[in-house]
Amino acid sequence: MQPFVSLFVAAFKGVGSKRVYRIWRHEGLKVPQKQPKRGRLWLNDGSCVRLWPQHRNHVWSYDFVMDRTHHGKPFRMLCVIDEFTRECLAIRVERRLNARIVLEVLADLFLSHGPPDHIRSDNGPEFIEKALRAWLARLGVKTLYIEPGSPWENGYCESFNSKLRDELLAREIFYTMKEAKTLIEWWREHFNTFRPHSSLGYRPPAPKAILPKPFMPPYIEGVAA
């Protein structure tokens, strides 16, 4: 006897348990199976539990996001974030993205921000390509590959990707690639400089510094005149 059947019997007095059970079976009602508990990933070097970001440029992570233009043709986005500051360092938008473009994006970021200590990703072919791994090793950047089928190990990037999809991709129709690149870059700037982040005390990851207008005493203007 299903445990919920007895609850229905208690709620509707005078109705037999067998009748309730027939209705239960006819309607296809089921009790959700208890989900097995997952163990913590203490032994996986690439997991978020194993290595927490401690400072800027300590751990970066990157991942791909896919969307389509209005006529149905797909395009991909390479998102790179700093896990400590939550800043989105780049979103590269192209019809196709391969290991060469990944290396190109990282090279530009290393020149402007400096190389990180670690970089986290899944085991996609673009991220495990031999030339890319050798180049990162020469620069002293350690690669952290998550376990296959374990996207929660790349939680910072997965969280960013969901925000990108919910706040932009699910709300906009991109008619051309130029329009997609422009709007996505605008959203990245908005995310970094204006959008509040709860884990940062509701401050944006990289707010723009607003310099005060220089004070000019009135007599200076009189002398100049």
> What pLDDT was estimated at residue 225?
45
Domains along the sequence of the chain with CATH:
1-29 (no CATH), 59-200 (3.30.420.10)
Q: How many CB atoms are closer than 10 A to CB 85? A: 18
Separation of alpha carbons 121 and 107, rounded Å: 17
Average pLDDT over residues 15-38: 70
Torsion sign over Cα 89, 116, 107, 208: positive
Please check the confidence at residue 114 and state whether its pLDDT lies above 90. yes
Please check the confidence at residue 118 and state whether its pLDDT lies above 50. yes
Note the pLDDT tens digit of each residue in 201-219: 777 787 765 555 555 555 5
What global pTM score does this model have? Answer: 0.69
